[in-house]
Structures are given as C-alpha cells and as structure tokens.
Amino acid sequence: MDKTNALRDLHGVGEKLAAQLNEIGIHTITDLLLHLPFRYEDRTRLTPIGSVLPGQRVLINGKIEYSGVVFGRRRSLIVVLNDGTGLLYLRFFHFRQQQQHAYKAGGHLRCFGEVRAGYKGLEMVHPSCQRISERQLNDPPDGQLTPVYPSTAGLQQLRWLRLTEQALLLLEKNRLPVTELLPAAVRKQFELPMLKPALQQLHRPDASVDTAQLAAGRHPAQRRLILEELAAHQLAMKSLSRQLASLKAPVLNDETLQSKILKQLPYRLTAAQQRVIQEIDADLQNHSPMLRLLQGDVGSGKTVVAAMTIARAVASGWQAAIVAPTELLAEQHLRSMQGWFEPFEIEPVWLTGKLTVKARRVAMEKIRTGAAVVIGTHALMQPEVEFQRLGLVIVDEQHRFGVGQRLALRDKGMAEDSENADKHRPHQLIMTATPIPRTLAMTAYAGLSISIIDELPPGRTPVKTVAIAADRREAVLQRVAEACRNGRQAYWVCTLVEESDQLQAQAAEQTAEALQKALPDLSIGLIHGRLKARDKEQIMQRFRNAELSLLVATTVIEVGVDVPNASLMIIENAERLGLAQLHQLRGRVGRGATESSCVLLYQPPLGSMAKARLDTMRRTSDGFVIAEKDLELRGPGEVLGTRQTGLQQLKIADLTRDHELLDDAIDLAAALESSSTSAAKRLIKRWIGGAAVYGEV
C-alpha cells in the first residue's frame, strides 16, 4: 500500500496552514503525530447546572433562555442556558454575527468550560459550544478524553482535532511510514508498549485512563515515547563522537611553553585545575579532534587552564583562537594572555568589530600570516577572517553564540595541513561559568567529554547575599557610602527588561547622576555597552587602580571583570534577571580576601518565580545547585538558550520531569545499537533529523 507523509496530503492543509505548522517544527504527518497534547479535558460526563461550582471545568447541556448583545465596559454576547436544575450564563467578548444567529433563544447547546462567579450568577467565558437538537440532550457524551494541543496563533483546537483524526486514520490503515523500530526483545526488556497503540492512546485516550498518570507524564504510552526520544539523542551524540574520532586533528604534544608559563605563575594551581589540564593534554595528543566542555564556577580559574591549552598548541606550531561573547570579556582575556605570553615574545592579536578600518586590516593580515594567539569577539567568525594554521578553538560562554557562528569558526581550521596535505579540524574547548545540570549535560552535551573545576582558589571568601525592597534604597546608599569611605569598592548594576543598548545606557547614565548627587564625595565611574572600547578600558583601568570607588554599570560586567578589591555589589531590579545571570554578576565580588556582600534590590510585590530566584540566591552560592534550580524554574530550552544556539529541543521529553529516565534511555540506546544499527539510524532521523550536526560545536 502506498505510504504518504506529506502534510499537504491531509484534507484542509493548504500552503498557509502548512507554513504555520512548519514554523513550530511540524513538517510531516509523522511530526504531527509526535506533537502530543499537553493536557486532556474530561468531557465524558454531563454535570447538572444546579451542582456546578466556581473553578470546575465541566460539560453541560441546556436550552437557550436568552441571547443578546449587552454594552457594558466591554461589548459582549450573553447567552443564558437552563437545564431544569439551574441557570448558567455564557459570555463571549469576541463573536461573529453567525454566532449570534446560531445561539438564538429556543435552541440547545452542549458546552464545556471553566465555571466562575459572574455579575449575575455563575458563568463560563468563551466556552467550547456545540449546537444540538432537543433529542440529543440525553445522548451520552464522547467516551474519550478531549486532547488539548500546544498551538500557535491562528490554529484553534478544533483544527488540531481534525488534523490528528486524519493522521490517526492513516496510521490505523498502515498508510504512514511510522514503523516500529524497537525490536520485541528490547521492548520486553524495558516493558514498553508498541509505538502504534501508544500514539493512538495519547491522542485519543478513553475515559478509563488514569488521568493523574497522564498529567504526570508517567503513562506507559508516554514513557515509551519519552525513552525513545531520549535514546535517539544518545544515539545521535554517540554517532557524532564516532564521526569526530574518524577525522584528523593536529597532534599537540610540545609542552615546553606550558612548563615555562607554569613556572612564572605567582600562585600554585588548584588540584582541580591540574586534573583538568591533564585531561585536556591527553586529548590534544590524539589524532582526532578534541571536543571538551570545561565547566567551572565563577572565579574557579578557567582562564589559566585555557592559557595552558593555548601554550601547548602554539609550541606545537599551530594557531590558537579564543572567542568571547562581549568586548569586555575578550579584553579581560587579552590582558591575561598578554601577561602570560608576551614574556616569551608571543604577542596576542586582538580582533573585534569596533576596531578602526586600519587596525582591523593589520590584525587580519597578522592572523592570515600565522599569528600564534588570536583573541576576539564574533568578528573572528566572519568569512573574511583567514587563519594560516588553526589548530585550537576555545569558545568562552558558548551558549551566547549562534550555532552557525560556532560552525563557521570551526570550519576555518579545515584548511590543508601543509605537511600532510590533508584536511584537519581544530581541537575545540568550550568553556562556561554557567554550571550545567547533570540532566542537561547527559543529553545536550552527550557527545562531549566534560571537565569540571570543582574547587575555588584559596583565599576566596563566600559572598553574603541579601534581598532588599527598593523602598529601603536610602539604607543601601548609606551602606555603599560606608564601604567606599573605608577603602572598599563597589558595583551598582542597572538592569532593564528591554534589550536595547541605548535604553540600558540611558538608565545607567541616569542612575550614575543620581548616585553622584546622593554621594558627592565618592568618585563614581560609568560603563555600558555603547561606550567605545578604548573608553571602557580606561574606566575599567581606573576602577582596577582604585581611582574610582563606585562603578555604575549595565550587565556588560556580567563576566570577565576581575577586581579583587571590589567587595560590594548592588543589583538593581534583581527580580528581572534569571538565576544564571544573577550568579554571574555576584561572581564579580568575593574575588579577594575581604568579606564581600551582594544586595539584590527588588521592586515589590514579587511574583512566585522571582521570589524563588531571589530565595535561591540568598541560600546558596553553589553554581550547580543554582543551575539545577534554574532548570526547574525555566526549563531546558531557556537554560541552554536553544533558540539562539540551535541545540535540538526535545519534542516530548521534559528533562525537569523525566530526569529519572535518563539512565534507562542510555541503556535503551545501547541495547538498540547492539541489536539493530539500521533501526538506530532511523530512530535518529525520526526524532532529530538534520539537527544532529549541532552536536559538533
């Protein structure tokens, strides 16, 4: 029998609807079947109007006693239903003329919706309604729960029901290429139902189903699909790892420069730093490209580890590039690398989008002709930037870059190796100061080796964090004044909901002016994203030299700023920021031996999520605890920034809810791989498609 999978083969799907479905990741009928309801409504039982209570979602029948348009604060269509046990008002703020005609007095309706207390009695606002005849009043309702699908603007639930009804009919007749990919032995081992009945159950569950189990995502049919999706991601990442291992990379085995820099350091590396450097060194001596994620909490010393990695590449005759998301962080890396490499006559080259035309041309020529150490921002990823012999790429805070950008930088290393006349890929080290929860690392980063610096350098002091309402601003000002007059330094961070650099700069300027009036004896500096790189550097240098007591800044100081004498941070409108960003900002203090504090200044009243974030910040400074809470509050898509990075989003699985299934998913992937490599490949295609390439960066 011919099998179809094109959306346009479904009745009612034209070009416009197909485009709408494509926008939310539905390109085939199979994709439509994998787009599961996010909740179910019980429309299987009729409830007498006389027994309904506010807050209930119920199905009712009734005769229309009255229908008419009323003009109050908002024009609305009011319909009054009577079933003999009581009256219920239906209210429609958005209605059409044909709806008025259909709901005339004397007719009969079957309605489902949430009951609430209204002006004249109990009412439903915009319920789902069906016209019925008087004879149908006693007809039993449908015997299935009604699915409610995640949707997009312009797609009503009725359309989803009609589309999935057609898809399920094709599935029933075996006219879709939706095949069972898990062998019977594997299904038996993991106690999984077959795919076809699982999909049918989830799209049209009957009234006898355990609704609590469905709501919790623990129904056997859900477990089948969740495990299959998580296993597909594991298989994809393992496949990418094998592909990567088959590619060539330069062997970086000269450690002479690394040893010289280590001897120059005025401090001893922590045991965690030494362990991580050994892990990276082992990778760099292989013929296959390293793909390693380096996690380290704020202030744990990732930059010196990066320098050791760069030293090995440079001594082995290859170029190394480090790319940072902001100029401020790139400048911090430049200063650090200059301090470590210039004594050995290696001058790092600096490239950002804000260089003058002449300076940019000079920098690009140095890179093209083999400059050993290159540091920059997104500008390094542009097509006109050519490397002579790129052997190592370090991406700092990689979640800030689009996946296309990271691929572009990696591909700059795929030039011919002059010695072997062969293509090679550079080694890649991805650094983040945003700890990634285990549940995310096991999926999104399953193909990467992971190193963790789980130890802070000695001498770092814990940061005491308090949350204070904005109406106590005067007390906060006094605290800042006292700290600065005692020789300490402070940050005052301004935040705005808007992403506009101009608006953020204006807010920071106004705050700086107000603080200067309130604290006239303090020297106050101002830094924001719209300042020229040279001006930013001058202000930061004055702050580092303690010429400025208080630095007013936007969130540009989130990463990369290291001033050990700064021991007080005020974060204004802290309730507007996510946990990861708050943790990063707080990490700018507590970098010396002085007791440090962070004040989260918030505008009451706080929403439940904002309150949870601020409470977490007060309770702990452990980046991994904070990351787990961030995952719980915002979900994996937001934490990883998948919209920006291109990391494949999960369709059905929820890492917050389903983390307990990850170990089973890994075992399922292994079992499937050993029993059927063909099925494993088809499973990857079903769930991931072409997005698997994103695991390479």
Of all residues in the chain, what percent carry a pLDDT higher than 90? 49
Rounded to two decimals, the pTM is: 0.69
In terms of average pLDDT, the best of 115-119, 296-300, 584-588 is: 115-119
Identify the pLDDT of residue 522.
92
User: 120 and 35: one domain?
Assistant: no
Give pLDDT, residue 404.
46
Question: Do 332 and 296 sit in the same domain of this protein?
Answer: yes
Lowest model confidence (mean pLDDT) among 42-51, 304-313, 463-472, 531-540: 531-540
Q: Read off the pLDDT of each residue in 671-684 and give the average, rounded to a whole number.
A: 89
Q: Which pLDDT belongs to residue 284?
A: 96
Predicted confidence at residue 590, as pLDDT, reads 84
Q: Which of 632, 597, 629, 601 is nearest to 616 (CA)?
A: 629
More confident residue, 308 or 501: 308
Q: What whole-number percentage of the chain has pLDDT above 70?
A: 88
**pLDDT band of 421, cuts 50, 70, 90:** very low
pLDDT digits (tens, 9 = 90+) for 612-670: 999 999 998 888 788 778 877 766 555 444 433 334 467 888 877 888 888 899 999 99
Within-domain flag for 245? no
Query: What is the CATH number for 67?
Result: 2.40.50.140
Same domain, 333 and 442: yes
683 part of a folded domain:
no
The residues, ordered by sequence, that sit 6+ positions from 474 with a Cβ below 8 Å of its Cβ are none
Report the residue count for the chain.
Answer: 697
677-687 and 662-675 helices, crossing angle to 10°: 130
* pLDDT tier, 7 (very low <50, low <70, confident <90, very high otherwise): very high
Would you say residue 241 has pLDDT above 60? yes
Same domain for 27 and 85: no
Of the three residues 423, 453, 483, the one that is the final residue of a domain is 453
> Is there a single domain that holds both residue 485 and residue 569?
yes
Predicted confidence band at 408 (pLDDT cuts at 50, 70, 90)? Answer: low
Residue 344 burial (10 A CB sphere; 0-12, 13-18, 19+): middle
Residues 273 and 409 in one domain: yes
> What pLDDT is attached to residue 312?
97
Q: Which residues pair with 466 in a beta bridge?
A: 599
Same domain, 267 and 349: yes
Relative to beta strand 524-527, strand 550-553 is parallel
Would residue 308 count as lying in a domain? yes
C-alpha neighbours within 13 Å on the C-beta side of residue 453: 29
Task: Please check whether residue 238 lies inside any domain of the structure.
Answer: no
Helix-helix angle 157-172:195-203, to 10 degrees: 150
**Which residues, in sequence order, are CB contacts of 345 under 8 Å at separation 6+?**
none
Which H or E run contains 184? Answer: helix 184-190
Q: Chain-centre distance of CA 394, in angstroms?
A: 21
**Is residue 403's pLDDT more than 50?**
no
358: left (phi over 0), alpha (psi -120 to 50) or beta: alpha
The Cα–Cα gap between 488 and 465 comes to 17
| Stronger pLDDT, 503 or 379, i.e. the higher one | 379
From 250-264, 495-509, 563-577, 650-664, the region with the lowest mean pLDDT: 495-509
46 DSSP β-pair partners? 59
Last residue of a domain, one of 573, 594, 620: 620
Most confident option among 98-102, 164-168, 288-292, 349-353? 164-168
Q: Answer whether 111's CB lies under 8 Å from 128's CB.
A: yes
Q: What is the pLDDT of residue 561?
A: 66
Contacts of 491 (CB under 8 A, 6+ apart): 550, 551, 553, 557, 566, 568, 569, 570, 585, 588, 589
Q: Is residue 92 located within the same domain as residue 27?
A: no
- Confidence band, pLDDT 50/70/90 cuts, at residue 240: confident
108-112, 118-122, 514-518, 693-697: range with lowest mean pLDDT: 693-697
Quote the pLDDT of residue 592.
74
Write the CA distances from 425 to 290, 422, 446, integer angstroms: 9, 10, 20
Please check whether residues 514 and 582 belong to one and the same domain: yes
Over the stretch 212-229, which tens digit does the pLDDT of each residue have? 899 889 999 999 999 999
So what's the pLDDT on residue 440? 67
Domain assignment of residue 199, given as a range? 7-40+148-209
pLDDT at site 185: 92
Q: Residue 674 falls within a domain, yes or no?
A: no
Helix (H/G/I), strand (E/B), else coil: 553: strand
Say if residue 54 is preceded by a cis peptide, omega within 30 of 0: no
Which tokens belong to 651? 């369709």
Alpha-carbon distance of 149 to 49, in angstroms, equals: 28
Query: Residue 367 corresponds to which tokens in the numbers above?
Result: 């890179």
> Which is higher by pLDDT, 522 or 300?
522
Tell which of 115, 141, 167 closes a domain. Answer: 141
Closest CA to 552 of 595, 501, 514, 579: 514
Greater confidence (36 vs 690) lies with: 36
Closest CA to 181 of 224, 122, 126, 239: 224
- For residue 199, pLDDT over 90 is answered with yes
Tell me the C-alpha to C-alpha distance, in Å, between residue 21 and each of 3, 10, 27, 577, 611: 21, 12, 7, 32, 36
Residue 468 lies in a domain: yes
Residue 479 has pLDDT above 70, yes or no: yes
**More confident of the two residues 695 and 414:** 414
Res 406: pLDDT: 47
Answer positive or negative: Cα dihedral of 604, 607, 612, 614.
Answer: negative
Q: Are residues 279 and 349 in the same domain?
A: yes
Q: Give 206's pLDDT tier (boundaries 50, 70, 90).
A: confident
Instruction: Please give the helix or strand (H or E) that residue 329 lies within, else none.
Output: helix 327-341
Check whether 446 has a pLDDT greater than 70: no
Name the residue with tokens 């009581």.
Answer: 86
Whether residues 312 and 421 share a domain: the answer is yes
Residue 248 lies in a domain: no
Task: Give the C-alpha separation, 398 to 438, whole Å.
Answer: 18
Instruction: Please report whether residue 195 resides in a domain.
Output: yes
Tell me what pLDDT residue 398 has: 56
Question: What pLDDT, on a 0 to 100 scale, did the predictor assign at position 645?
Answer: 36
Same domain, 603 and 492: yes
| 129-187 pLDDT, tens digit each | 989 998 888 888 877 888 999 998 888 888 999 999 999 999 999 888 889 999 999 99
**pLDDT for 690:** 57
CATH of the domain at 517: 3.40.50.300
Domain count within the chain: 4
Q: Are 122 and 116 in contact (CB under 8 A)?
A: yes
